[in-house]
Every structure is written in structure tokens, then in C-alpha cells.
Amino acid sequence: MSATLYTRDILRLAVSIPYQQRLEQPDGSAEVRSRTCGSVVTADVMVSETGELEDLGLIISACALGQASAAILGAEAIGRQIDDIIQVRSQLEEFFEGSDTSPGGWKNMDKLAAARDHKGRHAAILLPYDALIAAFEDAAERKAA
């Protein structure tokens, strides 16, 4: 482990993921896997009639960075709409690509900055956002059917 990559803050976040369970009857679900590192994230969602996330279930099999990212997402996602999640994910990706100076405005996003120069870790960090977006999309498809 690199001391600069796996900071104490990252490790603290990695063990504090909220909503670590499957939901019994979710509105939508998705499982995504990183081809780069093999991390897997499963997300279940309950979405209000107005499109806000009401409840979340997360199952994470990822490195400490992926887990830390899921902890940040879990702490901030309730009450947000899919567009909010897409925007935060895009800003984080743009930060990793070097076209944005901030990893995002959510609490603790700055803790992920240490991974900017570690391209092989970016997929694991973005994976929780990808899973949540896919679960939102699944919920929308189910409601439309």
C-alpha cells in the first residue's frame, strides 16, 4: 500500500459505508463491475414519485478507495435526484482527467484527491456512482413498464 494513496482519512471512510445492505423490494437495482480492477458494486434504490432517492442499499466488493467513495456517496445521496448523482460523478471524473481542479463539493470528496495520479484506481472510485445511476435508471424503466 502506498502511504500517500491510502491515507488515514481514506481508511476511515472505507470502514464507514452507510446503507450496507440489500433492500427487500427496491424500485431499481444494478450491479456493476470494473473491468480494470474487478471491483463490484450492487445498488438498490427506492425513489420517490418526484425522483428523489428515498432509500439506498449498497453491497461493495472493492479496494479501500472504492469503499471510501461509496461511503461519501452513501452519506450524501439520500434526497438527491439522478441528475445530481450524474453531475457529481462527472465532476469527479473530470478531476481525475485533469480538466477540473476540484473532485466535487460533497463532504469528504477532497479525500479522494490523493488518487488523481493513480489512474488504475479511478474505475473503483467511480463505480459506486455508476451503480447508483444504473439503479436509478432501472427504477425508471420499471415504473414506465
Put the strands of the sheet holding 40-47 in their side by side order.
Answer: 28-33, 40-47, 53-61
Residues 94-119: pLDDT tens digits?
A: 999 998 888 988 999 999 998 999 99
Taking the whole predicted model, whether its pTM rises above 0.85 is answered as: yes
For the segment 35-92, what is each residue's pLDDT rounded down to a tens digit? 888 899 999 999 999 999 999 999 999 999 999 999 999 999 999 999 999 999 999 9
Q: How confident is the model at residue 2, as a pLDDT?
A: 45
Contact 43, 4 (CB under 8 A): no
- The confidence band for 123, taking pLDDT boundaries of 50, 70 and 90, is very high
Give the model's pLDDT for residue 48: 97
- pLDDT of residue 1 exceeding 50: no
- Provide the pLDDT confidence category of residue 6 given band limits of 50, 70 and 90: confident
Domain boundaries, the chain: 8-139
Q: What topology is assigned to 8-139 in CATH? A: Sufe protein. Chain: A (3.90.1010)
- 36 contacts 121 by C-beta, under 8 angstroms: no
Residue 3 clears pLDDT 50, i.e. is over it: no
Residue 5 has what pLDDT? 86
What is the C-alpha to C-alpha distance for residues 140 and 142, in angstroms, rounded to an integer? 5
How far is it, in rounded angstroms, from Cα 140 to Cα 13? 30
